[in-house]
Amino acid sequence: MEHVSELVDWSRAQFALTALYHWIFVPLTLGLSFIIAIMETVYVKTNDEWWKKTTQFWMTLFAINFALGLATGIIMEFEFGTNWSNYSWIVGDIFGAPLAIEGIMAFFMESTFFAIMFFGWNKVSKKTHLLSTWLVAIGSNLSALWILIANGWMQHPVGMTFNPDSARNEMVDFWAVVLNPNAYSKFLHTISSGYVLASLFVIAVSSWYLLRGREIKFAKRSIIVAASFGMITSLYMLASGDESAHQVALNQPMKLAAMEGIYRGEERQGLVAAGILNPAKTIGDDKLDTFLVKVEIPYVLSVLGYHSLDAFVPGVNDLVYGNAEHKIMSVSEKMVVGKEAVSALGEYKVAQKANDEIAKQEALKHFETSEKYLGYGYLKDPKEAVPDMPLVFYSFHTMVGLGSFFIFMFFMILYNSMTGDILKQKWLLLLGVLGLPLGYVAQEAGWIVAEAGRQPWAIQDMLPVHMATSNIAAGNVMITFWMFAVIFTALLIAEVSIMTKQIKIGPEGH
């Protein structure tokens, strides 16, 4: 058991490391590709060579980021086979389909037109080159769509059935998987956050130039494009975040409880705008206050989560121990039913080996009545169903707080840029530079909420993480964890170094 726990911990740590590093590169690719396409469109429309130089400069930085993001993404997909082979076996038929489509359709499209976009200047017509740039932007976002369809299915599994003969989940409705509302809310919120980060990137570089008195025309125009793009997309990010929270409330109530630090559910539940959790508070304890201090907006969480002012928002205690009034089944009850499903599946396998059709049918009937909670049959303690509350709560509020701050920042930068006062506002330019690292903090915090909030499930309510790992030595995973940590850090240092060098050269030197 100790070996299994160590293996799970190292496997989770390695995948988290890969995902967090990968997500440094991806959102910039998603957003910067569209900013480049917008700038090149202006060039083609105006035939102004200055816009061509501007486009080429940002395109160079995009190419550096694209290449390094590709390396981490490929490694992450391989880890499903190396460290999570049980997961791949059990749900590979479903999870693999969107990833295969992403590779065949979106990634090939993105990579093919990337070559024309980057190397095709003066070799193809302006309109053909512009089309290639737009197709790279569309392709990169289509890649995100299919990957997030796969991830959305992990958060809310639909369109499949469990095959007791192979002990695998098999897809029965492709369109249910593709049109999963959880996937689309996640996709729209994720890409809009990428657009915001790319806007922060362009603003940060341009603000650095203005603070140094360099590339004034280039920086001013780039800031106007980025701040306009960022303002629009940050407002859309806010709206898509509302829909994403609604899907979490419907399909992952435990995650919502962790995001808002709710132990005891209430009707007309307020939204915690900011707060400090009480570290002494434990599951099942109703004596201690949940927060040492908090700022709460009354009723808002019920409205955002369930679109009703009077809606009951369950807390951790309701979900773990049950709530008869609101017809919430306890984790203990689900575990009992889940163990019956596990037992029935074992009986089915025994009958199958013995060619006993009567026993097979009886076991199958028993299994089908308890299959819904099969995953709970592998939990050891009801409290295992609760994610890391402080990690999820603080990550969520960091993401939301910074997202709100970015809207204000974009407005101030855009307003002062349009009035011509941006050079006089040194504090605003410094804020523009600072906004980039804060943008990355918000990005990583968002993914921590999405993935840590789902724990202990690899597939929500269906497959616990400890049942999804490969049967390998924990030491092997530990070695590769540190190896990847060194490699990814080297890649990150390389990107920052190359980008910094290119930025110092500037668009004229390009």
pLDDT in tens, 177-195: 999 998 888 899 999 999 9
- DSSP codes joined into one string, 436-484: HHHHHHHHHHHHHHHHHTTTTEEETTTEEGGGTS-SS-HHHHHHHHHHH
Model pTM score: 0.92
pLDDT at 3: 60
**Predicted local confidence at residue 45, as pLDDT:** 94
Both tokens of 244, joined, read: 């994403």
Any idea which residue has 């616990």 for tokens?
464
Q: What parts of the chain have a pLDDT lower than 50?
A: none
Residue with tokens 């990107």: 495
Q: How far apart are CA 366 and CA 388, in angstroms?
A: 34
At 357 the pLDDT is 87
What integer pLDDT is reported at residue 400 of this predicted model? Answer: 93
Question: Tens digit of pLDDT for each residue in 256-292?
Answer: 999 999 999 999 999 998 999 999 988 988 888 889 9
- The candidate with the shortest Cα–Cα distance to 107, out of 78, 148, 136, 69, is 136
**CA nearest neighbour of 451 among 190, 123, 132, 201:** 190
State residue 93's pLDDT score: 86
* pLDDT tens string 304-353: 889 899 899 999 999 999 999 999 999 999 999 999 999 999 998 998 88
- Distance, CA of 509 to CA of 495 (rounded, Å): 19
C-alpha 440, offset from chain centre: 13
